[in-house]
Amino acid sequence: MSELSVEGREAEAAGECVVMKFGGTSVQDAAAIRRVCQLTRRALPERRVLVVSALAKVTDQLMNAGWAAAEGRLDAARASLQLLRERHEAVAGGLVGGDEHRRLCNEFAREFDALAVVLSRIASEKAFTPHAQDQLLGVGESLSSKLVHAALQSAGMEAVLVDSRDCIVTDAAHTRATPLWDETNERLRAVLVPLLKSGQTPVMGGFVGATRDGIATTLGRGGSDFSASIVGAGLHAKRIEIWTDVDGIMTTDPALCPDASRVARMSFDEAADLAYFGAKVLHPATLVPAMRGNIPVWVLNSRNPNCAGTEIVARCESDGRVKAVTSKRGVAIVDIEPVRWFAPELLREVFDVFERHQHSLDLLSASRGSLALLVSSVTALPAIAEELKGLANVRWESHKALVCLVGEQIRRRPEIASQAFRAIADIDVRMICQGASERNISFLVDESRAVEAVQRLHRSFFSAPAPEPAMEASSSQAMCQAEGVWQ
């Protein structure tokens, strides 16, 4: 690790802190928030910073209210705000009483009045812009952090509410903002270090930030994990804990395969690949700051805190086995065929056009004759095709899913790819991607077959040996070098 700056040393001295992030289900009601208080107390005497998500489903409900307002259904939007308000007041009532309850309800009233103004503006403009979306959605985290703060205080802990918009400085890419690292680290240290030194527990909303001018932004759906990692890296924390509703990172999504089992340890790279290829348990950018600061990340179950969870560290022993299976839905494959011949300039032009349209690429496969790209959204593709007219013909197919096997060095063992082929032999595979790294092998299939493909691969790699179907791999059409491209 590089030598620490004065600020870094100060953060570290005040640090030795642990960042604890609690997801939506871990703060969904008064009982869940009481568990958060117990877990926070249990962590004593370590210094802690809490990062919390909005109460479960609140972000989706705020999003729906925004769309309803934009579509002219302002009454429906207001009605759902009213329900949200009542839910937060009821949760507050389950945590604190008397004056403290009244104080919290007054604070909520101010937040909901401001939300009503945003909804009216969306309705009058008939547009739910990314800027309005950030103003609306970030309120979920503001409300939940107030509830958790009040609960900790009433449980006798010295908690202090910190507005994340004062600490996490981002660019202005609304709905998918990126932190401006130096400013963010500086502000995190300036605000949090004195609080930690004086023995207080800061409570912050995840997911939100603000531009240098103080305009609210968000880090993308599921972004509270990323917030926790940003805070952890800024403070040189000793550990980042992601408290969620499952026992850790599992061999696959337990919602798809109930027999999925916990992975005790994995590398940063393995976890980052899993998150990038669709495992919702971690936001895809979470591991980036943690890796940079070499800070271990733990994924833990707030409903089953005695379970050891998953430890994610820089390096972990590997025997070349598959650690987990995941899938990313909503993928489209874009074929780019040069009008004349394939030249390196075309590659540059394609990247430039996608960049101009702020369109991120998931995977790229190049061959002598053409280029295949995988993307997660098709909205800008007609305009991109138009810009490339004369240079290349652009066609795309939507409703695909990328099913991915992850594990250090799995590509060194060719039998893994053949076992995977056998498991999904009768599923049409449009493209096979062996990672540029040695860590992942992925298959592009129709979205409608994705769940089945995951279940079969999981059974094949993690359950008792299944009978081998006597078939060859079906229509694998391309073998490619995969290259993850960060947004």
Place of tokens 């707030």: 302
Q: For ligand ASP, which stretch binds (CB under 6 A), given 221-229, 364-372, 385-393, 409-417?
A: 221-229
- CA dist., res. 334 & res. 377, Å (int): 11
Report, in Å, the least distance between residue 54 CB and ligand ASP. Answer: 4
Q: What is the number of alpha carbons within 13 Å of residue 186 lying toward its C-beta?
A: 7
DSSP-based three-state secondary structure for 212: coil
> Does the footprint of ligand ASP cover residue 209 (CB under 6 A)?
no
Place of tokens 């800061």: 202
For residue 276, the partner it binds in ligand ADP, ligand ASP, Mg ion, none, with Cβ less than 5 to 8 A by kind, is none
Confirm if 434 and 480 have CB atoms less than 8 A apart. yes
> Does the footprint of ligand ADP cover residue 453 (CB under 6 A)?
no
> Does the footprint of Mg ion cover residue 222 (CB under 5 A)?
yes
Report, in Å, the least distance between residue 422 CB and ligand ASP. Answer: 37
Contacts of 23 (CB under 8 A, 6+ apart): 53, 224, 225, 242, 243, 244, 245, 302
- CA dist., res. 156 & res. 204, Å (int): 18
Q: For ligand ASP, which stretch binds (CB under 6 A), given 220-228, 290-298, 400-408, 414-422?
A: 220-228
Report, in Å, the least distance between residue 206 CB and ligand ASP. Answer: 5
What H or E segment, with its residue span, contains residue 330? strand 324-338
Which residue among 281, 333, 417, 429 contacts ligand ADP (CB under 6 A)? 281
> Does the footprint of ligand ADP cover residue 246 (CB under 6 A)?
yes
For residue 196, the partner it binds in ligand ASP, Mg ion, ligand ADP, none, with Cβ less than 5 to 8 A by kind, is none
> Does the footprint of ligand ASP cover residue 22 (CB under 6 A)?
no
Confirm if 208 and 142 have CB atoms less than 8 A apart. yes
Place of tokens 């592009």: 444
Parallel/antiparallel/unpaired status of strands 371-375 and 310-313: unpaired
Output the CA angle 74-80-83, nearest 5 degrees. 145
Q: What is the number of alpha carbons within 13 Å of residue 300 lying toward its C-beta?
A: 21
Q: Comparing C-alpha atoms, which of 412, 365, 404, 375 is closest to residue 270?
A: 404
Which residue among 28, 133, 224, 229 contacts ligand ASP (CB under 6 A)? 224
Parallel/antiparallel/unpaired status of strands 392-406 and 363-366: unpaired
Confirm if 374 and 402 have CB atoms less than 8 A apart. yes
Total number of residues binding ligand ASP (CB under 6 A)? 12
Report, in Å, the least distance between residue 253 CB and ligand ADP. Answer: 3
> Does the footprint of ligand ADP cover residue 324 (CB under 6 A)?
yes
For residue 133, the partner it binds in ligand ASP, ligand ADP, Mg ion, none, with Cβ less than 5 to 8 A by kind, is none
Q: Comparing C-alpha atoms, which of 303, 221, 256 is closest to residue 22?
A: 303
> Does the footprint of ligand ADP cover residue 280 (CB under 6 A)?
yes
> Does the footprint of ligand ADP cover residue 301 (CB under 6 A)?
no
Confirm if 155 and 41 have CB atoms less than 8 A apart. yes
Total number of residues binding Mg ion (CB under 5 A)? 2
Total number of residues binding ligand ADP (CB under 6 A)? 20
Could you tell me which residues are beta bridge partners of residue 435? 482
What H or E segment, with its residue span, contains residue 49? strand 47-52
Report, in Å, the least distance between residue 336 CB and ligand ADP. Answer: 31
Q: For Mg ion, which stretch binds (CB under 5 A), given 190-198, 219-227, 246-254, 384-392?
A: 219-227
Give the nearer residue to ligand ADP in terms of CB position, either 53 or 227. 53
For residue 252, the partner it binds in ligand ADP, Mg ion, ligand ASP, none, with Cβ less than 5 to 8 A by kind, is ligand ADP
Scanning residues 109 to 168, which ones bind ligand ASP (CB under 6 A)? 140
- CA dist., res. 409 & res. 320, Å (int): 5
Q: For ligand ASP, which stretch binds (CB under 6 A), given 35-43, 106-114, 218-226, 369-377?
A: 218-226
Confirm if 144 and 27 have CB atoms less than 8 A apart. yes
> Does the footprint of ligand ASP cover residue 207 (CB under 6 A)?
yes
Sign of CA dihedral 276, 281, 282, 283: positive
The pair phi, psi for residue 81, each rounded to 5°, is -60, -40
Report, in Å, the least distance between residue 223 CB and Mg ion. Answer: 8
For residue 289, the partner it binds in ligand ADP, Mg ion, ligand ASP, none, with Cβ less than 5 to 8 A by kind, is none
Confirm if 167 and 187 have CB atoms less than 8 A apart. yes
* Binding track over 36-75 against ligand ASP, x by CB under 6 A: -----------------xx----x----------------
Residues in touch with Mg ion (CB under 5 A)? 23, 222
- Which residues contact ligand ADP by CB under 6 A? 23-26, 53, 222, 244-246, 249-250, 252-255, 279-281, 324, 326
Interface positions with ligand ASP (CB under 6 A):
23-24, 53-54, 59, 140, 206-207, 221-224
